[in-house]
């Protein structure tokens, strides 16, 4: 019996450490055990990540939230960014920032930058339905490196973002009841830390498939206390995203797991979250149904009250677990 236990343990260790060879195929992955996993970059291309890669602390001293860039887009400049520099008020006065408008903040994930596909998709959707300030956060210096390093740098990126927003509102005006933070993957944990830094003042925070690897039980992960209302959209739970309920309202489209409809490789399911959100802003057509438990959500068996998934409504409120089905292609 002891020999069988030892053999089982060795087999599990080998499976967890085996180097996967098919790009984008995470069928081998076991949460909390596997060393390697495929993750998509900002254009959806899968890259192999070593979750045991050592973190260089000296790197974090230079590649941290101090390097964040804040790109402003409005209806006056929908395609050409205006960079606002934290501490330089002149960069606000020379921009199209308007304190009377709602302010949307969009944060990318790992191996991405301010130009990655999700940013123009979500920015253009917001500007199509609302006269608002959209601030795209570019934290590429830290995001475009080892995943383990980026994970450790997320709190700093979020804290600098929170301090920037506080400075922006204190300097140029604005209203926390009109501030909506949106983050994808690691970016979801960035906006969580940003909200926490401001004293949970943003009226709404949306986490798009919050990153899962190395975030289970992590006290710095996005949670329901980070803003006045916090929601999460789970599309790759248990693989690249967190599956557990972490927000006021948690949405589980198509069961919240891989594969999402229309996805040929598993990393596509993770990237589906920002696509669904961009679509929801424009049309607000995703009707989530309240579930009795997460099991119902994962099996698409929810039939309770309705709460719309995503959208741009600032005073949105709701709580609980919600399930729904979507289509396989835009607008889903």
Angle in degrees, CA 191, 309, 132, rounded to 5: 55
SS3 (DSSP) at 134:
strand
Average pLDDT over residues 22-39: 95
pLDDT tier at 223 (50, 70, 90 boundaries)?
very high
pLDDT at 18: 79
**For residue range 244-273, what is the model confidence (pLDDT) as tens digits?**
999 999 999 999 999 999 999 999 999 999
Residues ≥6 apart with Cβ < 8 Å to 217: none
Assigned token pair, 119 = 């940013």
Q: Render pLDDT for 31-58 as a digit per residue (tens, 0 to 9).
A: 999 999 999 999 999 999 999 999 988 8
Q: Which of 41, 138, 209, 250 is catalytic?
A: 209
**Chain centre to alpha carbon of residue 134:** 16
* DSSP classification of residue 177: G
Catalytic site includes residue 185: yes
- pLDDT of 120 > 60? The answer is yes
| CB-based contact 180:102 (threshold 8 Å) | yes
From the candidates 112, 116, 185, 271, which is the catalytic residue? 185
Q: What is the number of other CB atoms lying within 10 angstroms of the CB of residue 233?
A: 30
Residue 58 pLDDT: 87
Give me the pLDDT at residue 56, please: 87
52 catalytic residue (yes or no): no
Q: Does 270 qualify as catalytic in the annotation?
A: yes
SS3 for 135? strand
Catalytic residue from among 95, 108, 270, 279: 270
Domains in the chain: ranges and CATH = 54-324 (3.40.50.1820)
Residue pLDDT, tens place only, 133-155: 999 999 999 999 999 999 999 99
Cross-strand bridge partners of residue 307: 288
d(Cα 8, Cα 241) in Å, to the nearest integer? Answer: 28
């Amino acid at each position: 019996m002891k020999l069988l236990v030892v053999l089982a343990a060795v087999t599990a260790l080998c499976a967890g450490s085996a180097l996967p060879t098919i790009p984008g195929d995470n069928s081998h992955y076991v949460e909390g055990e596997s060393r390697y996993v495929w993750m998509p970059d900002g254009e959806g291309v899968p890259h192999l990540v070593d979750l045991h890669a050592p973190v260089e602390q000296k790197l974090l001293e230079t590649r941290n939230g101090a390097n964040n860039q804040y790109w402003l887009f409005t209806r006056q400049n929908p395609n050409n960014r205006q960079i606002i520099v934290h501490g330089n008020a002149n960069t606000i006065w020379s921009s199209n920032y308007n304190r009377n408008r709602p302010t949307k903040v969009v944060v990318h994930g790992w191996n991405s930058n301010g130009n990655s596909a999700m940013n123009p998709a979500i920015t253009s959707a917001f500007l199509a339905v609302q006269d608002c300030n959209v601030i795209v956060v570019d934290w590429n210096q830290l995001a475009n490196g080892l995943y383990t390093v980026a994970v450790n740098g997320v709190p700093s990126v979020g804290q600098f973002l929170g301090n920037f927003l506080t400075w922006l509102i204190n300097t140029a005006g604005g209203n926390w009841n009109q501030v909506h933070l949106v983050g994808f993957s690691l970016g979801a944990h960035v906006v969580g830390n940003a909200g926490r830094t401001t004293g949970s003042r943003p009226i709404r925070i949306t986490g798009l498939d919050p990153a899962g690897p190395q975030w289970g039980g992590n006290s710095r992960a996005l949670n329901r206390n980070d803003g006045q209302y916090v929601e999460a959209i789970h599309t790759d739970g248990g693989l690249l995203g967190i599956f557990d309920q972490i927000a006021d309202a948690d949405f589980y489209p198509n069961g919240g797991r891989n594969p999402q409809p229309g996805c040929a490789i598993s990393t596509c399911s993770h990237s589906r979250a920002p696509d669904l959100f961009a679509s929801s802003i424009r049309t607000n057509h995703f009707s989530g149904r309240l579930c009795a438990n997460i099991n119902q959500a994962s099996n698409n068996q929810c039939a309770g009250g309705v709460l719309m998934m995503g959208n741009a409504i600032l005073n949105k409120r709701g709580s609980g677990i919600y399930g729904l089905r979507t289509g396989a292609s835009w607008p889903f």
